Each structure stands twice: as structure tokens, then as C-alpha cells.
Structure 1
């Protein structure tokens, strides 16, 4: 299983979380991916993304809202909103993943799972957040994104 496939699974899990407010544990994730045979590293990556987005959901949503001018967060399609959420988590908390990789993966997943127009919207939001980094490569805060 690749990280791309892991991100696709994360999208599905976050989409489900929006409606159920419950999240799968490691065993449920493994059972859901039984035919994909994920490595321990991929399982940790999935758990980090899901858990990290949920833990920091309010901060992530504030940042998204601050850069999505003229769009209320709840008006953004659920698939797009959750792609943006896990990508923002990567941008903020995963220094081991280059911003360009995060953005490219999010855009490609949007092309697969969302509308024809979504990928450019997602790219614009993520690019704005990525460029909100300070010169010392500190992670952006909601306040910095509002500037």
C-alpha cells in the first residue's frame, strides 16, 4: 500500500467522521485494509493523519476558513473539505513531507474523487497556506494566514 492509497483511506475515514463523530482504531483500520496489506509504517501514517486532523480540527478549520475568502467552510463540499483538512495537517505538522508533495497528492486525490473544478480550488487554498510560512520555515498559524 502506498502513501497515496493511505491518504485516500484517510479521506474516507474523515468523511465518515464528519457524520458519525467516531474514528476507527488500529484494528478497525487493519480490517478495512485487509486486501491492501499495509505495512506498519503505512498504518502509523494513516493513524497520524486521522488522529492529527481530529485533534487539531478546530485550528485546521480556522486556517482553512481564513484563506477561503467568500466561502464558508460548511459550503465547501465534504470531500474537498476533508482533502484540504488532511493536507493542512501535513503542512502544519509533518515536516518530513515537503509542501509540494502534500499539495500534489491532495490535488491528484481531488481529481480522482471530486469535481473537475475542485482540484484548482484545493490547490489555491493549500498553496496560500504553504506560502504563509515564515522565512525560518515555521509552520503557519491561523493569525499568519489572515494577514
Structure 2
């Protein structure tokens, strides 16, 4: 089944919001999922489903994702990054890892569009640089394995 770009972007934005809620509220993934969706019952199932899938990958692989981000965000620790930025990065890395068939340039571009909406202009460049570097590393690792 093909999912429209707008549908995917909405899912990515919702996943970002869940990650942000978990991060800033210091809440468990289960709690976030229950409270987040309680007021969003009118969404299309494919939007909701992809958002949940992204959130689950980001949550389950959070340690690995955070290490990867810190490695590529030179001179930046996760806790020093703007909360929105680190969660955009987490969502994108989760998509890189959990949905490898989605082209990395698409994931990066979508993340930049979301950053333009939710973050600062300076953050867009930062996010682009980090994600580009992460994508190159993941591609190199994938080539080594094949």
C-alpha cells in the first residue's frame, strides 16, 4: 500500500510530538501513548499507525539512536540540544533504522520541513548536517554487511 507524502509527514509530526512529550515530561512510552491518542481519535488509521511505529522504533532503540546522534553532532551533547531538535533527530534516525526502504534523502528532507515548522532557522542547518552524516555512516555499514 502506498501512503501519500502528506500522510507520512503528519505521522512524522505526531511521532515527534510523542517523543517530545516523553522527553520533556519524563514519561514512560506507555503513558505517552495512552494520553497522546486519547484526544486524537479522528485521525486516519494509516497516519496513526505509522506515527506509532516510528515512536516505537525510537523508544526501543533510544540508546543506540542517542549515541549515533551524539557521535555525529560534533561538540553537542543530547541534553544541550534544543528539545525539538533532538527529537526530530531521534525520529529521523528511527526511520533510518526501522524503515530502511524509505530513501534517506526523503527522511532528511521531511525532517527539515518539520524543523522549519517547529524549530528555528539555525536548527534546520544543524539537523541537516547531523542527519546527512548519520545517513552516510548507516549506508557505509549496510554496504559492509552486503
User: Which TM-score band applies after superposition, normalised by the shorter structure?
Assistant: 0.7 to 0.9
How much has 1:138 moved relative to structure 2?
Answer: 6.4
After TM superposition, the score normalised by the length of structure 1 is: 0.83
Cα distance change of structure 1 residues 135 and 17 upon mapping to structure 2, 3 Å threshold:
closer
Cα separation, 1, equivalents of 2:56 and 2:62: 10
Cα separation, 1, equivalents of 2:94 and 2:80: 20
Which structure 2 residues correspond to residues 1-147 of structure 1 after superposition, within 5 A? 2-18=7-23, 19-23=25-29, 24-25=32-33, 28=35, 30-35=37-42, 37-39=43-45, 41-132=46-137, 133-134=139-140, 136-137=142-143
Cα distance change of structure 1 residues 95 and 117 upon mapping to structure 2, 3 Å threshold:
same
**Which has the larger displacement, 117-126 or 130-139?**
130-139
More helix by share: 2
The total of aligned residue pairs comes to 136
Displaced runs of 4 or more, over 6 A: none
After TM superposition, the score normalised by the length of structure 2 is: 0.83
Cα deviation 1:68-107 (Å, max 9, x = unaligned) = 1111111110000000001011112211211011000000
**Which has the larger displacement, 88-97 or 120-129?**
88-97
Cα deviation 1:21-74 (Å, max 9, x = unaligned) = 22334x655433234x212x3322111111111111000000001111111111
**Which has the larger displacement, 77-86 or 67-76?**
67-76
Gaps of 5+ in 2: 1-5
Cα distance change of structure 1 residues 135 and 61 upon mapping to structure 2, 3 Å threshold:
closer
Gaps of 5+ in 1: 140-147
CA RMSD of aligned residues (A): 2.0
